[in-house]
Structure 1
């Protein structure tokens, strides 16, 4: 399936992926880091049940993504595909948070995605998080490619989900696709009106001219009889600069019957060849999509490499200058380290004292901040929205469920307190 590419192409994609991983380890994510926003990536967006997961699994040729109802993907998944030259090489996956541990069972990869999501989200009160999970899959049947799988968009919150979930998901997707280097893979079902497509609506907001968007139409095989999407695939009814690709993936019934990827690929090829509306089109099928994405990503990265290299070189020079100004390395001497810390603390104390005792702009300014500005900012915070009877009842039910409490529903109260404290963070 994978198009044969020079080894340097795979190295280029791998280099960018490595830079993304380093940024994540340093706490820099999309929208919050200059370097991350300079790195080209393909971000997959689509509504829930749009066929997004099936597209990704078809590209990989394996079942490995969590499935179910509601919001299944609750954190972005950065999927780095590495093509191995040996056609007999065994496929395996490796997570960044478990470096060095090769996982050959793709069912265990699925379970680890779910477990790592739960581990991360259990630390806070949110049901989704923008912090990505990094997974690298090594296989002889995949192209060199990096994809970011985003949680599916939704139009309304269902029972058990916070009312903010719709906006939270949109904000998260925008964070990843708003940068000029983000290539948007907008997945939409062909059996629904494209005018209502969540993926296209969001893509148009950040890319109004369609210069960074590639459209993917799924579920073509279950369109109403007598209808087709030829006009869209030909770019006549809805034009995108990088065009559209039509795919046919497994339905839920096929998945339940354990249809393998090879059979699904054969059925997809047969469908497009046997359907008059599509048999003369080149932009159909998962194989075409995988090669198109791989070539497009490499071209974008190659075009941006000089800019990335320039930024990295400049940043290294700046940090070296800062290190030089701080003095020589004393990390190996505990006594010198303690002396340096105490000296710096003393300098900070003296500098702060000078500011406080400096009259206007010093102590007066500090007094104004704490006694006037902070007080005004706190009074303006929307605590009333958190403490409405409806929100308190929903929050406690979501956190504690319907169960008797001897004194008070602790988990629910704790979540309400955390929500209130989160409001205080910005003015403080």
Structure 2
């Protein structure tokens, strides 16, 4: 392009900063595809077939690079980003200008005829080789010291009659495609109309009027001024006297097909255009709206101002999308916690009719496993009569006791209470395992989309449940220790005193009668037994006979002493009474444990998890720097999510570029 196309002092500095930023945004969101709902500022070129759109674009670039022909050539939207770069004095000839395609990342095309061939090849790859049309973009960057920073979208020309592989409704399809670009408030419409046609019937202006009724973002381009009928001119068009446009019109002179066939350069064409406007009196005084250089400047200035106007809203929409990711994560966490509580409480919509699930399994563990295991324990199972007899005799010290000592009973009952600790702790572990299983079933199908979030949530839930299990186990241990530390023989359900003696008497008497029936002579005299019982009753509690029946041994006693093998009537009764007391008090403690342990587990583990899990999720996972990773989806979507992170930085740079 001629030197007139160099950036103006007014438009250059801002345009050089802002438009490349927006170009970067366009590349990012082009790769995101339809998932992007953000409309970026851009210029869309609209016109009928053979209206001169391609000539306008090539004139702006200053190079031949677009497919040309008498039939439809633009069959896919071409996003053309013109990037101004300073002229280098040491650059080799032809090395200052090149093109890059987004689908060929990093590959530079210095030969512009190769760019044309690649556009044709890429068009045919998507739209076929027989004039088919596709709405999938081709993205091309042109780097040159001879252009201004402008981004344009060249759209297929409006055609009336289908040809080749085009469907019968080709006109409607192309119009729909064009409207999908120009309907957005952020899009500037470059409406190209030939000067040798009636402007009132211009397809480009008709489409622009549909999308932009007040003409606030439409620039009119009048092409082919040099081939108008003799005696006519486009002055009224350019002045807006025919169809007014707020942004006005620019007239240009295109290269003719003969110029192209004769390889007439664009530089020569621009010189011809300048000479044409200079010699035509009708265009005197309209230099500001005549010629390709003026079109480039006008586009640059309007686009920069347009970007400045829409950028605040653009940033808000991007922030809203990022915030939406946070809302999405928050909704998942909340929904998960609600589902977890519903499963525990039995309110889950997907109730199973085949097996117990959720809270029903917790109830089963408490009642059918824990309680049953405690009820099956015999408090005297591992305590023999000799153990009880030995404990009683050791508790009497150096003299005979008048009553059955309390110490043996307390020692033995504490030992039996201690046996309740392991099944109680095991119950807590069973409930912990059930809660882990429940957490894995919550939102199982929905969280399959987010494997990283699923894993992170499992880790948080597992850690939190382990933290809840510890105080539950501590509380259970304290409950058992409290029962062991204070033996409450005054409990109303405890069998003691004369009642215990009576019951024990019946048990001993029945046992003796059963054992002595075959050999009555060798048996114990029932009168003696009755006398022992009366003697014990007369002392109010469990007393002991003064005579122990042991014959004094005048030899030195052995190192290990044990009671005599034969039990006296008094000892048999004391053993029976002690067993009775053990069973009675154990039943009291067992019922306390059966009631207290489930309460401790529910309070410290189950209900604590229901109450606090959401807060823990918020504290551990609801962090802005984790949103992207947690909501990472399969690889194809992951790449899109990653590119969104670039947008905030890009927007910050754009703000700096628009600061006045």
TM-score bracket, normalised by the shorter chain, equals 0.7 to 0.9
Q: CA RMSD in A?
A: 2.6
Question: In the alignment, does 2:30 pair up with 1:24?
Answer: yes
Question: In the alignment, does 2:117 pair up with 1:117?
Answer: no
The CA deviation string for residues 161-203 of structure 1, in whole angstroms up to 9 with x for no partner, is 3212111111100111011111100000001111221111111
Which of 166, 169, 172 does residue 171 from structure 2 map onto? 166
SS at match of 2:281: coil
Which of 2, 14, 25 does residue 20 from structure 2 map onto? 14
Stretches of structure 1 that go unaligned for 5 or more consecutive residues are 328-341, 351-428
Q: Are the structure 2 counterparts of residues 160 and 319 from structure 1 closer, same or farther at C-alpha, using a change threshold of 3 Å?
A: closer
The CA deviation string for residues 405-427 of structure 1, in whole angstroms up to 9 with x for no partner, is xxxxxxxxxxxxxxxxxxxxxxx
Equivalent residues in 2 for 1:210-289, closer than 5 Å: 210-281=215-286, 282-289=288-295
Question: In the alignment, does 2:109 pair up with 1:103?
Answer: yes
By how many angstroms is 1:7 displaced? 4.7
Equivalent residues in 2 for 1:18-167, closer than 5 Å: 18-28=24-34, 33-35=36-38, 37=39, 39-88=40-89, 90-122=96-128, 127-158=132-163, 160-167=165-172
Alignment partners' CA distance in 2, 1:87 and 1:246: 32
Q: Are the structure 2 counterparts of residues 229 and 346 from structure 1 closer, same or farther at C-alpha, using a change threshold of 3 Å?
A: closer
Alignment partners' CA distance in 2, 1:49 and 1:63: 16
Q: Are the structure 2 counterparts of residues 252 and 318 from structure 1 closer, same or farther at C-alpha, using a change threshold of 3 Å?
A: same
Q: Is contact 2:98–2:108 with CA below 8 Å preserved after alignment? A: yes
Aligned twin of 1:291 = 297
Alignment partners' CA distance in 2, 1:6 and 1:196: 36
Stretches of structure 2 that go unaligned for 5 or more consecutive residues are 334-438, 448-660
By how many angstroms is 1:130 displaced? 1.4
Structure 1 stretches of 4+ with a deviation exceeding 6 A read: 324-327
Aligned twin of 1:423 = none
By how many angstroms is 1:279 displaced? 2.2
By how many angstroms is 1:99 displaced? 1.1
The CA deviation string for residues 55-107 of structure 1, in whole angstroms up to 9 with x for no partner, is 00000000001112322111101101110012545100111111111110100
Alignment partners' CA distance in 2, 1:286 and 1:78: 19
Aligned twin of 1:363 = none
Q: Are the structure 2 counterparts of residues 210 and 130 from structure 1 closer, same or farther at C-alpha, using a change threshold of 3 Å?
A: same
Alignment partners' CA distance in 2, 1:16 and 1:97: 19
By how many angstroms is 1:305 displaced? 1.3
Alignment partners' CA distance in 2, 1:277 and 1:193: 19
Q: Is contact 2:133–2:166 with CA below 8 Å preserved after alignment? A: no
Q: Are the structure 2 counterparts of residues 117 and 344 from structure 1 closer, same or farther at C-alpha, using a change threshold of 3 Å?
A: farther
Q: Which has the higher helix share?
A: 2
Aligned twin of 2:7 = 3
Q: Is contact 1:58–1:261 with CA below 8 Å preserved after alignment? A: yes
Question: In the alignment, does 2:421 pair up with 1:347?
Answer: no
Q: How many residues align?
A: 332
Q: Is contact 2:84–2:149 with CA below 8 Å preserved after alignment? A: yes
Alignment partners' CA distance in 2, 1:61 and 1:255: 14
Which of 192, 200, 203 does residue 208 from structure 2 map onto? 203
By how many angstroms is 1:307 displaced? 1.1
Q: Are the structure 2 counterparts of residues 180 and 349 from structure 1 closer, same or farther at C-alpha, using a change threshold of 3 Å?
A: closer
The CA deviation string for residues 195-243 of structure 1, in whole angstroms up to 9 with x for no partner, is 2211111111111221111000001100000111111111122210000
The CA deviation string for residues 137-167 of structure 1, in whole angstroms up to 9 with x for no partner, is 1100000110000011112223553212111
Question: In the alignment, does 2:305 pair up with 1:306?
Answer: no
**Which sits farther off after the overlay, 168-177 or 68-77?**
68-77
Alignment partners' CA distance in 1, 2:119 and 2:290: 30
Q: Point out the structure with max Rg over C-alpha.
A: 2
Alignment partners' CA distance in 1, 2:243 and 2:441: 62
Alignment partners' CA distance in 2, 1:344 and 1:98: 45
Aligned twin of 1:399 = none
Q: Is contact 1:2–1:290 with CA below 8 Å preserved after alignment? A: no
Q: Are the structure 2 counterparts of residues 220 and 156 from structure 1 closer, same or farther at C-alpha, using a change threshold of 3 Å?
A: same
Aligned twin of 2:518 = none
Q: Is contact 1:78–1:147 with CA below 8 Å preserved after alignment? A: yes
Alignment partners' CA distance in 2, 1:26 and 1:323: 20
Alignment partners' CA distance in 1, 2:212 and 2:298: 20
Q: Is contact 1:77–1:149 with CA below 8 Å preserved after alignment? A: yes
Equivalent residues in 2 for 1:401-416, closer than 5 Å: none
Alignment partners' CA distance in 1, 2:224 and 2:258: 13
TM-score, normalization by structure 1 = 0.73
